[in-house]
Each structure stands twice: as structure tokens, then as C-alpha cells.
Amino acid sequence: MGGKGFDVKGIGNSISIPCFFFFLSRFFFFFLNPDLFLFQKTLSFSPLSRGHSVILYGFGSKRAILEKFAATTPSSACGGVLVADGGAAGASGRGLAACAARALGVSNRARNASATAGGGRAASAALEALAEVDPRAGPANRLLVAIHNIDKMSSSSSDADTAALAQLASCPCIRLVATADHANAPLLWDKRATALFAWRWVDATTFAPPSNLDASRAPALLTGVGSGGAGEDGGFSAALAVLGALVPNARAVFCLLAEAQLAALDAVREATTSAGGGRAASSSIDAAGGVPFDHLFRAARERFVAPTEPALRAHLAEFRDHGLLLARRSAGGGGQAAQQGGDELAIPLQAEVLARVLDEVSAAFA
């Protein structure tokens, strides 16, 4: 061998054993894997239409397979596609339920049910509204939900979020397709959740290296919010979808924070205009720093929406999970919280988009 590796003679021009077995594995993968061949080539909806959810597992990145399937889904099988990234900070089962209800046009029905039964049942009301959608009425009543790295979402989510995701998958109008990378992914769900998911496991070994999107990606539920306003509408639609699933007190806290942030940006803009001879100030959140936590707590307590600090922090944690909040510890020198040394809070939306969200929320939930 002499360190040069053993070559197989008679196969091409001295193809080494590792290359031979690699190409052989590719042959078996693409041509002798009927499940994946059916899934990738013919885009069969048969397991989905029979009430099963499909999950792709195996070595290598499966993002390209899932995105191709979502992009080429026939309109005769599904009326819409919702893609989420399970590894993003804003991904949650309850947030997905709210987005699905909005995509299928039942968000108003869910909102009315939540208002009747109490704001704490917002996610449950959305799931109940989705369960009443009849998929036999046509493709417009069916939604494909594609989730990258669902194992990451389930491992970092609360039990309530996992239960909401499983209940979403069991809705007749929902077709769930997901990918999983961890070898112990089946252990993430209990017996009840596994029964609701009704997984059909498909070996999708690709040996493909992780893409840049696997390593870093903006929150999928709030495309454009967590990335500072990128996206077609700057995160406007996604923010409304998440806020629609929150309890009334949480929405009230969000409105208080938005009002304080817009007021701070207006003050900076006026000061810059006066000093610069009409030069407009930036509308980004960095222009005015952040809103002090103590300032927001006083306003929330006066409005009776968060009587205690733990209650307010619980709402803020939910905002942060959905990519609707940035928080940092003030180090002094700038911002409204500099003198207090407390937390600075900000909503990562441009001022124009934030004003539109505030107007829409105020009008819809008045």
C-alpha cells in the first residue's frame, strides 16, 4: 500500500475504495430508497393525506430537500406553505399555531373565542379554530407546515409549546413535514404527543455539510423582526400574527413599550433636526437607546396590566422568545436607563413598521 491507499483495479481510472463506497452509497440512497425517492421525486402527499406527519432523518443537512419539497408543492394538494426554523429563538408551537390560523383565515374566529373564554386561551382558541377547518372543502383549506430541525424546537420549548405543536399536527387541515438531526429525536416526545404527530420516518441521509442557514438564521416566525426590519413588510405581518396569540395584558405591555420607544425616537429626531438644520434622524432603535425597565414597569402598574415585576418579566420573556424584544444591560453613557444602570428594552422594528403594528393592534383589540 505504501501510504498511497489501496486501489480497486478495473473500476474507472484507479478509483480508491473510499470513493467507490461513497458513490455506491449514493446509488443506494437515490435509487434504492423508495420512501425518499417517492417523497423527493414525485412529491407524494399520500402519507400526509392519510393523517401522518413526515419526518426526515439521517446524516447530513436535509434543508435543501425540505425546501425543494415546500417550494414545489402542487397547488392541488395544498393551498399554502408555512416554513419555520426550529433552531431559531422565535420558533414555538403556540406561535406556529397563531401563524397557521392567520394563513388559513381563521384568526378572527380564534380571536373572538379567546376574548369570550379569556385571554389565557389564545393558543388553544387558535388550535380549536384550526380543528374545525374541513380539508375536504378544497386545497385552500389545507396548509403545509415545514419545520427545519424540529428536534431543536422541541428540546428548547416548554411542555405547553410541545403539546401545542403536536395538537397542530393532528389538525385535519395541517400537513406537517419536518427534519430531525439528533439520533435521540424520538425520545423528545411523550406517548400522547407521539400519537398526535403520527410520524412516518423517512431515511434522508445526504452526508451534505450544514449550510450557512443551518448555522445562523433569523427567527422564522418573525422574518424581518429579529433581523432589524428585513423582509418584504419589515416583519409587520409576522408581528401581528404573534401578538394575536398573546393574552390581552401581554399585548397591552407591548403597546406601552412601543409607545415609549416611538416617543424616544421622536425626541431624538427633533433634537437632531434642531441641531443639524433640518437633517432627519435615524429611525432605528440604536438612535435612542432603549426604554428603561423601571419606566415600563411604572407604566404597566399604572395601567393595571402587570402589577408585579415577575408578571412583567414573564410577558417580556414571551416577547423575547418570539423575537419581539431586545434587552441589554445599560453600561452608562447613553440611553434612558444609563443613570439607573438597569435593563434597556427595545422592539427590533423600524419606527414606521412599529407605528403600523401599534395602530393595527390598537384598532383590532380595542
Average pLDDT over residues 306-315: 88
48 pLDDT band, cuts 50/70/90, is low
Q: Is position 189 within any domain? A: yes
pLDDT of residue 329: 64
Report the number of distinct structural domains present in the chain.
Answer: 3
pLDDT of residue 41: 41
Residue in the structure block whose three cell numbers are 403597546:
255
Average pLDDT over residues 325-332: 66
Average pLDDT over residues 170-178: 91
85 pLDDT band, cuts 50/70/90, is confident
Report pLDDT digits (tens) over 201-240: 888 888 888 765 554 443 333 333 343 444 456 678 778 8
Closest CA to 145 of 54, 229, 72: 54
Name the helix (H) or strand (E) containing 28. helix 17-31
pLDDT of residue 170: 93
Alpha helix stretches (DSSP H) within 87-197: 93-103, 107-117, 122-131, 150-156, 159-170, 191-197
Residue 350 is part of which domain span?
Answer: 248-364
For the residues of 220-245, what is the DSSP string, one character each? GGGTTTTTTS-SSSTTHHHHHHHHHT
276 pLDDT band, cuts 50/70/90, is low
For the residues of 92-110, what is the DSSP string, one character each? -HHHHHHHHHHHTT-HHHH
Strands (E), the chain: 53-57, 80-85, 143-148, 174-179, 199-203, 291-292, 326-329, 343-346
What SS3 state is found at 292?
strand
Q: What is the CATH number of the domain that holds 312?
A: 1.10.10
Would you tell me how many other CB atoms lie within 10 Å of the CB of residue 359? 11
One-letter amino acid identity for 51? G
Average pLDDT over residues 175-182: 91
Q: Is position 311 within any domain? A: yes
- Asked if pLDDT for residue 293 goes beyond 60, the answer is yes
Domain check: are 51 and 170 in the same one? yes
178 pLDDT band, cuts 50/70/90, is very high
> Which are the contacts of 10, defined by CB distance < 8 A and separation ≥ 6?
none
Residue in the structure block whose three cell numbers are 389538525:
171
Q: What is the C-alpha separation between 24 and 18, in angstroms, rounded?
A: 10
pLDDT of residue 5: 45
- Asked if pLDDT for residue 105 goes beyond 90, the answer is no
Would you tell me how many other CB atoms lie within 10 Å of the CB of residue 204? 24
Average pLDDT over residues 91-107: 84
Domain check: are 115 and 260 in the same one? no
**Rounded to the nearest 10 degrees, how much is the dihedral formed by the CA atoms of 30, 31, 34, 36?**
10
Domain check: are 150 and 46 in the same one? yes
For residue 16, report the phi and psi dihedrals to the nearest 5 degrees.
Answer: -70, 165
Q: Is position 235 within any domain? A: no
Domain check: are 153 and 7 in the same one? no
Average pLDDT over residues 269-274: 71
Q: Is position 340 within any domain? A: yes
pLDDT of residue 352: 87
Residue 278: C-alpha distances to residues 210, 262, 282, 285, 329 (Å): 49, 19, 13, 20, 33
Q: Is position 54 within any domain? A: yes
Lowest mean pLDDT among 14-23, 88-97, 173-182: 14-23
One-letter amino acid identity for 70? A
What SS3 state is found at 82?
strand
Percent of the chain surpassing pLDDT 70: 66
Report pLDDT digits (tens) over 112-157: 555 444 444 677 888 988 999 988 888 888 888 999 999 888 877 7
Q: Is position 226 within any domain? A: no
Q: Is position 225 within any domain? A: no
Q: What is the C-alpha separation between 78 and 71, in angstroms, rounded?
A: 11
Domain check: are 70 and 182 in the same one? yes
Q: What is the DSSP letter of 186?
A: G
Residue 360, judged by CB atoms within 10 A of its CB (0-12, 13-18, 19+), counts as middle
pLDDT of residue 323: 75
Chain center to CA of 132: 24
Domain check: are 43 and 26 in the same one? no
Q: Is position 236 within any domain? A: no
Q: What is the CATH number of the domain that holds 63?
A: 3.40.50.300
Domain check: are 42 and 22 in the same one? no
One-letter amino acid identity for 247? V
Domain check: are 183 and 103 in the same one? yes
Residue 20, judged by CB atoms within 10 A of its CB (0-12, 13-18, 19+), counts as middle
- Asked if pLDDT for residue 259 goes beyond 70, the answer is yes
Calculate ∠ Cα 224-55-89, nearest 5°.
Answer: 30
Domain check: are 75 and 137 in the same one? yes
Q: How many CA atoms lie within 13 A of 339 on its CB side?
A: 3
Q: What is the C-alpha separation between 61 and 179, in angstroms, rounded?
A: 9
Domain check: are 171 and 274 in the same one? no
Domain check: are 77 and 189 in the same one? yes
